[in-house]
Structure 1
Amino acid sequence: MPESAFYIRSAVLAPCLDLIKELGSSPDEVLRLAGFRPAQLADPDCQIAHHDFLRVIETAAEITGCAHFGLLLGERNSLQSLGLLGLLLRSAPSYRAAIQEMIKHLGIHVKGITRELHCDNGVACLTTRFENPDVAASIIATQMSVATNWKICQLLSHHLWHPSSINFIFDEPENSFFYRRFFNTPVNFNADFNGVAFKEADLDLPLREHDPMLHQEMQRQISKIEKSLSDSFVDDVKRFISQNMDAGICNIDAVVRFFPFQKRAFQQKLKREGVSYQDLVDEVRFQRAEFHLLKSNLTLSQLADVLCYRNVSVFSTAFKNKYGISPSAWKADNL
Structure 2
Amino acid sequence: MPYLLRSASLANYVEVARSVGLNPYQQLSDVGLGRHVLLNTEIRIPVEAVSGLLEASARVSGHTDFGLRMAESRQLSDLGPLAIALLEEPTLRKAVDALARYLRLHNEALAIRIEESDNLLMIRTGLISGFPGMLRQSIELVVGVIYRTLHCFLGRMAGASLTPFQVCFTHAAPANAATHTRLFGMPVSFGQEFDGIVYRISDLEVPLKSHDPAMAQQVRQYLDTMLAKTNNSMADNVRRLVSTLLSQGDCSIDRVAQELSIDRRTIHRKLKRSGESYSMIVNAVRIELATRYIDNCERRLSEVAALLGFSSLSTFSRWFSRQFGCSVSEWRARQARATRGRTGFALGGREAFPVRRAAMSASHYAESV
Relative to the length of structure 2, the TM-score reads 0.58
Matched, 1:173 2:170: no
Pick the aligned partner of 1:101 from 74, 80, 98: 98
The one-letter code of the counterpart of 1:60 is S
5 Å matches for 1:28-107? Answer: 28-107=25-104
SS in 1 for 2:64: coil
5 Å matches for 1:156-167? Answer: 156-158=153-155, 160-167=161-168
Pick the aligned partner of 1:111 from 105, 108, 111: 108
Q: Report the Cα offset of residue 62 of structure 1.
A: 2.6
Q: Name which one, 1 or 2, has greater alpha-carbon Rg.
A: 1
CA distance in 1, matches of 2:153, 2:22: 32
Q: Report the Cα offset of residue 134 of structure 1.
A: 4.2
1:108–1:226 CA contact under 8 A, matched in 2: yes
The one-letter code of the counterpart of 2:194 is F
The one-letter code of the counterpart of 1:40 is V
Matched, 1:185 2:186: yes
SS in 1 for 2:124: strand
Once the two structures are superposed, residues 141-170 of structure 1 have per-residue CA deviations (whole angstroms, 9 ceiling, x without a partner) of 121111111111111233522212211111
5 Å matches for 1:300-315? Answer: none
Relative to the length of structure 1, the TM-score reads 0.64
Gaps of 5+ in 2: 235-273, 276-369
Identity across the alignment (%) = 22
CA RMSD in angstroms comes to: 2.3
The one-letter code of the counterpart of 2:206 is L
Relative distance call for 1:44 and 1:181 in structure 2 (3 A) is closer
Matched, 1:203 2:204: yes
1:50–1:135 CA contact under 8 A, matched in 2: no
Relative distance call for 1:175 and 1:118 in structure 2 (3 A) is same
2:72–2:183 CA contact under 8 A, matched in 1: no
Once the two structures are superposed, residues 269-315 of structure 1 have per-residue CA deviations (whole angstroms, 9 ceiling, x without a partner) of 89xxxxxxxxxxxxxxxxxxxxxxxxxxxxxxxxxxxxxxxxxxxxx
1:164–1:186 CA contact under 8 A, matched in 2: no
Q: Report the Cα offset of residue 73 of structure 1.
A: 0.9
The one-letter code of the counterpart of 1:94 is T
1:130–1:136 CA contact under 8 A, matched in 2: no
CA distance in 2, matches of 1:5, 1:102: 23
CA distance in 2, matches of 1:201, 1:232: 36
The one-letter code of the counterpart of 1:195 is G
Aligned residue number for residue 137 of structure 1? 134
Once the two structures are superposed, residues 178-208 of structure 1 have per-residue CA deviations (whole angstroms, 9 ceiling, x without a partner) of 4223322131111111111111112311113
Gaps of 5+ in 1: 234-268, 271-335
CA distance in 2, matches of 1:200, 1:181: 23
The one-letter code of the counterpart of 2:138 is A
The one-letter code of the counterpart of 2:193 is D
1:12–1:77 CA contact under 8 A, matched in 2: no
CA distance in 2, matches of 1:228, 1:146: 26
Q: Report the Cα offset of residue 226 of structure 1.
A: 2.3
Matched, 1:21 2:21: no
CA distance in 1, matches of 2:199, 2:98: 18
2:5–2:45 CA contact under 8 A, matched in 1: yes
1:33–1:59 CA contact under 8 A, matched in 2: no
CA distance in 1, matches of 2:58, 2:134: 15
CA distance in 2, matches of 1:178, 1:151: 14
1:157–1:208 CA contact under 8 A, matched in 2: no
The one-letter code of the counterpart of 1:109 is H
CA distance in 1, matches of 2:184, 2:215: 32
1:118–1:124 CA contact under 8 A, matched in 2: yes
CA distance in 2, matches of 1:135, 1:204: 38
2:55–2:136 CA contact under 8 A, matched in 1: no
Once the two structures are superposed, residues 220-265 of structure 1 have per-residue CA deviations (whole angstroms, 9 ceiling, x without a partner) of 22123223334579xxxxxxxxxxxxxxxxxxxxxxxxxxxxxxxx
